[in-house]
Structure 1
């Protein structure tokens, strides 16, 4: 099995995505990567931070995302070890250059969320 890679992303719930994006980008000076719907992504020294505006407002569970190079292989290997996924790996976003963001969500032994993440270059 491919070993889990570095932590690729952390998530944090916010009440107002617009205000949070401005604060993280302009006040803290964290490099803004992109915004998609109610999600804003920032680069925190190589670890991606995802801010998520929740309809009911914060707080929600934080998620640890593990980078993998081959999400299908990592998913299959973890399934064989008894990990239960919410659904198979799926594309959650396509960037302008065609790179796709793929995720697969599962829970730890205490039912807290974890995820695999992979960037897939197409074409």
Structure 2
């Protein structure tokens, strides 16, 4: 019996109500590199993982996309300066046995759906 191994995530998909507004927000406010737009689909690069936004008016999926960042405080400050309204300050959500801390900060996209920053902070 052969076991196949899944590789890293290649693409995430998220439905949006207005592709033009979403494209502008993800590109200009979050600063994600825009790859291309084709019809009602817009594609962005998230450090090697492709994000596909698809215009599906009336659709509302409650998924959360977590963006890994090296310095959550700096990313929080930069995005706040660009107009992102965070639901709260970055905060620790878990401490691993080796002392590594998992930190997150939650915010919403231009359609009010959840997104998050996440970062691991090493002890010391």
TM-score (norm 2): 0.52
| Cα 1:45–1:87 shift into 2, 3 Å | farther
- CA separation in 1, counterparts of 2:69 and 2:101? 14
> Between Structure 1 and Structure 2, whose CA radius of gyration is higher?
2
Cα RMSD, aligned residues only? 2.0
Q: Between Structure 1 and Structure 2, how many residues are aligned?
A: 70
Give, in angstroms, the shift of residue 62 of structure 1.
Answer: 1.0
Give, in angstroms, the shift of residue 84 of structure 1.
Answer: 0.2
TM-score (norm 1): 0.52
Runs of 4+ that moved beyond 4 A: 44-47
- CA separation in 2, counterparts of 1:61 and 1:107? 11
Gaps of 5+ in 1: 1-29, 31-43, 48-59
Give, in angstroms, the shift of residue 122 of structure 1.
Answer: 1.0
- CA separation in 2, counterparts of 1:122 and 1:45? 30
2:120 is equivalent to residue 115 of structure 1 = no
Aligned position for 1:68: 69
Give, in angstroms, the shift of residue 61 of structure 1.
Answer: 1.5
- CA separation in 2, counterparts of 1:104 and 1:45? 27
2:107 is equivalent to residue 106 of structure 1 = yes
| Cα-to-partner distance string for 1:34-92 (whole Å, 9 max, x where unaligned) | xxxxxxxxxx7456xxxxxxxxxxxx721000000000000000000000000000000
